[in-house]
A and B are shown apart, each in its own frame.
Chain A
Amino acid sequence: MTKSKAEMLNEETTQKNVELSKKEKLNLKKARHIDSRPFAEISGMKIKSRSKKKKRINRSKGGDFALFLFLAICGILSILPLIMIVNNAFKPMDEIFKFPPNIFVKNPTLNNFADLGVVLGTSLVPFSRYLFNTVYVTILGTFGHVIVASMCAYVLSKYKVPGGGVIFGLIVYSLMFPSSVTATPNYIILNFLGLIDTHWSIILPVVGGTMGLFLMRQFMNGISMDYIESAKLDGASEFRIYWQIVMPLVKPAWITLVILNFQSLWNTGGSTTIYREDYKMLSYAINQIASAGVARTGTLNAVQLIMIIVPIAVFIFSQSNVMETMQHSGMK
């Protein structure tokens, strides 16, 4: 051991020597240079420092600009479909069928919305019924999932319950199973339970969804156990700790979950498990309007705008509502 250490030391010193000698050589070279040109040292340094500064500023400015440009291009590409949907809804017939389409509308009209009113007025099931079905399923499914899944996530994240690890593993792995294949077995099960043709056939599978639980558990992992223990010392029940302490701390998480679930439920048609016309959803009704063909294109554009407004409103409202969490301020 000692020998090897000594050897290493030796090696290091030799390396240093080599380095020194290199430096010395460089210095000698420089000295020769300086000798040949009087005051070159000072002017050279100035030039060097200037060029360095300039370079750095230039690069960071350029980098910032490139970054901004990149973000701007991505942003425009991202927002463009939305802008087109908004503009399409106000386009008169001749502009709708123009190819290539203009992005912005030239002569905006409200005709499309008026046509939509006529179509809805003549439909067999009143439009408000479709709207009610969608709102009912969306709200019940979204909040049911958030509450039920996060309640389970709280236990899985904060306690070592016997069997908890296996359950969590099952949840994560089932997230990876393609859903198009489980659709048929799911139908068989729903049929067995007698849930076909009810709204529960859409709500219950969503409430038992896997992504929300995984999301909530990951966020709850970040909460210190001290909170829970001190609440327990104060005599709070398990449910109360979950509802009044843990849930406010993971607000960004369940708001994300509300956005995701709301959006997907709002767009479900429910045509595979619901056959009664007056139980069907908004997006199914809209597909029916669309199926009438080219003549309804304007109406369809108006409908698309209306359908998209609600998830957007939910998104903006909830996103701007998320303050910085208080997760780290209470414990010291």
Chain B
Amino acid sequence: MENTIKETPSTEQAEKKTLKEKWNEFRYKVDMWSRKKPLRRKLYLNRVLYLMMFPYLLLFFTFTVLPVIMSFALSFTDFNMLEFPRWVGWENYLNLFLEDPIFITAVKNTLIIAVVVGPGGYILSFVFAWLINELPRYLRAIVTFVFYAPALTGAISIWALIFSSDYYGWANSILIKLQIIREPITWLKDAKYILPIVIAVQLWMSLGVNFLTLIAGLKGVNKELYEAGAIDGIRNRWQELWYITLPSIKDQLLFSAVIQISNTLGVGAVTTALCGFPSVQYAGHTIVNHLSDYTSVRYELGYASAIATLLFLVSIGLNSLIRKVIRKVGS
């Protein structure tokens, strides 16, 4: 009995040892191999880190980098999604600037919207997050919910009710009651009013991702810093904001700035939902509207890719500009 019991573990141990030895040998070999070149050594020593990055990077490259590269390449072709893309060189870009007046309108509208909504929405998100952060916990959760509600419901329909073109539209009925106007204004069908309305709605909708991020960031600010600041001679709330709060959430500020850029240059869904597609006299036509016109209506993907590439370059330029600005915060 005793013998058998003793024997079985010993054999198992022997097997395990051999496996372990083999494994050790293998590791030793890899180790020695990695020592031959400095880069190889670096990679070997950081192998756990690379393993942790691997799943994400694999998916990121297949589903983001590769498509972006492909559409870069497509921007130099004529591609109608049915036939194989035909190489045309710079023709798409030349056509964009020289033979497409609607594109120029779209650029103009997008820039007007971006100038107002970009900084406006950004500041609005921050101010709301900042005000809400001072509230007690449960009230804060409720108020956060109230202000995030437009992003949750995604309902732009309320604005269609407000700016309805007949007597019953809320804006019209109020203005008529106040005797400011006599006849209802066709808000969403008048080139004069479309752009301001789109800007207002876009500002209203700007409390989204940025807003949540900034709230989460403000929650993480070290409370002791404020006490220390009070001792160091910070006198009012504005100084507190500039020297303590803003530098503490610099990372979040940068994040929301990048999101804000891509959001403002990506305005388009609101125009379509409110004013139809295309809007009257292209008054609310943005670059993204132009883009979706060529991807999902005309199926000229090469041309659309050229538009996307230009938009991409503009946002990269803005991005580097904003990085410089944010670096100066709190100094």
Q: Are B161's CB and A101's CB within 8 A?
A: yes
Contacts of A176 in B (CB 8 A): 258, 261-262, 265, 312, 315-316, 319
- With A208-B59, A322-B219 as known contacts, state yes or no: A84 contacts B67, CB within 8 Å: no
Contact pick for B152, options A74, A82, A101, A256, CB 8 Å:
A82
Dominant secondary structure at the B interface = helix
Give A319 to B143 CA distance when docked, in angstroms.
Answer: 11
A293 close to B (CB within 8 Å):
no
Contacts of B217 in A (CB 8 A): 219, 252
Contacts of A252 in B (CB 8 A): 215-217, 219-220
Interface residues as binary, B288-303 with A (CB distance below 8 Å gives 1, 0 otherwise): 1001100110000100
Interface residues as binary, B70-98 with A (CB distance below 8 Å gives 1, 0 otherwise): 11001000000100000000000000000
Selected interface stretch from B4-12, B21-29, B38-46:
B38-46
Contacts of A327 in B (CB 8 A): 220, 222
Q: Are B204's CB and A320's CB within 8 A?
A: no
Contacts of A286 in B (CB 8 A): none
Q: Are A155's CB and B295's CB within 8 A?
A: no
- Residue among A209, A237, A255 with max Cβ neighbours from chain B (10 Å): A209
Give A271 to B262 CA distance when docked, in angstroms.
Answer: 25
Q: Are B145's CB and A263's CB within 8 A?
A: no
Contacts of B161 in A (CB 8 A): 100-101
Q: Are B147's CB and A74's CB within 8 A?
A: yes
Give A65-92 interface residues, CB cut-off 8 Å to B.
Answer: 67, 71, 74-75, 77-82, 84-85
Q: Are A159's CB and B49's CB within 8 A?
A: yes
Q: Are A189's CB and B209's CB within 8 A?
A: no
Q: Are A222's CB and B251's CB within 8 A?
A: yes
B242 close to A (CB within 8 Å):
no
Q: Are A218's CB and B255's CB within 8 A?
A: yes
User: What's the nearest-Cβ distance from chain B to residue A77, in Å?
Assistant: 7
Give A171 to B266 CA distance when docked, in angstroms.
Answer: 18
Selected interface stretch from A7-15, A21-29, A118-126, A178-186:
A178-186
Q: Are B53's CB and A213's CB within 8 A?
A: no
**B315: nearest chain-A partner, CB-CB:** A176
Contacts of B219 in A (CB 8 A): 252, 322, 324-325
Instruction: Please list the 10 inter-chain residue pairs (A to B) with the smallest Cβ-Cβ separation, ordered nearest first.
Output: A208-B59, A81-B155, A252-B216, A152-B56, A185-B67, A185-B70, A182-B67, A218-B251, A176-B315, A181-B308
Other A-B contacts than A172-B258, A181-B307, A208-B56, 14 sampled, CB-CB below 8 A, are A77-B158, A100-B168, A152-B57, A161-B46, A174-B65, A176-B265, A180-B296, A181-B308, A208-B59, A218-B254, A238-B52, A256-B216, A311-B152, A319-B141
B residues near A, CB below 8 A?
39, 42-43, 46, 48-50, 52-53, 55-60, 62-68, 70-71, 74, 81, 128, 131, 137-138, 141, 143-155, 157-158, 161, 164, 168-170, 173, 204, 207, 209, 212-213, 215-217, 219-220, 222-224, 248, 251-252, 254-255, 258-259, 261-262, 265-266, 288, 291-292, 295-296, 301, 304-305, 307-308, 311-312, 315-316, 319
Instruction: Offer 13 A-B interface pairs, CB within 8 angstroms, sorted by A.
Output: A74-B204, A78-B149, A82-B155, A99-B168, A151-B55, A171-B60, A173-B316, A180-B292, A182-B71, A183-B295, A207-B59, A219-B252, A322-B219
